[in-house]
Amino acid sequence: MQASTPPSKKVTLLGEYLLACIFFVFAALLEFALVLKYKRRADLKMSVLPVNIKEDTVVKQEWSDKLRTWNDVTDKLNVIKTNKRKKNVDPERFSSKVDSIAQVLFAVAVILYNCVYFTKSLA
């Protein structure tokens, strides 16, 4: 389609539309990477949680000792973190909130851009 348009030194409407589409795709990929990062952080946090030894008899004593020492370290770090910042953010809730907001914002941005673009191209 771009080959059938006359050559121009300025950015054409078609070129502008293609650049906007590339921008929206790149922004969606960045948003996906951010959400994935926080979801993985939440999964990692869940995998390090202590195991109830009374219910799980398969856990070895040395692993439970490592968990206890790891929990002591994480408890101390959590106290330090909560002293520095009062608000403790849950990565799972944060990622789902970012994903929900991004879905609405991308949809509104694409609709607004298309309205402006087609108004400008038909004028």
- Does residue 1 lie in a domain region? no
Domain count, the chain: 1
Residue 62 inside a domain? The answer is: no
Q: Of 69 and 36, which is predicted with more confidence?
A: 36
Tens-place pLDDT, residues 20-60: 999 999 999 999 998 888 888 777 766 655 555 444 444 44
| pLDDT per residue as tens digits for the range 71-121 | 666 666 665 555 555 566 777 788 888 889 999 999 999 999 999 999 988
Token pair listed for 14 = 């078609």
Q: Is residue 95 part of a domain?
A: yes
Residue 104 lies in a domain: yes
Residue 73, in any domain of the structure: no
Residue 105 lies in a domain: yes
The percentage of residues in the chain with a pLDDT greater than 70, rounded to a whole number, is 60
Q: Which of 88, 98, 86, 105 is nearest to 45 (CA)?
A: 88
Is there a domain that residue 65 lies in?
A: no
Residue given tokens 């952080």 in the structure block: 41
* Residue 117 belongs to a domain: yes
- For residue 34, the enclosing domain spans 12-56+90-122
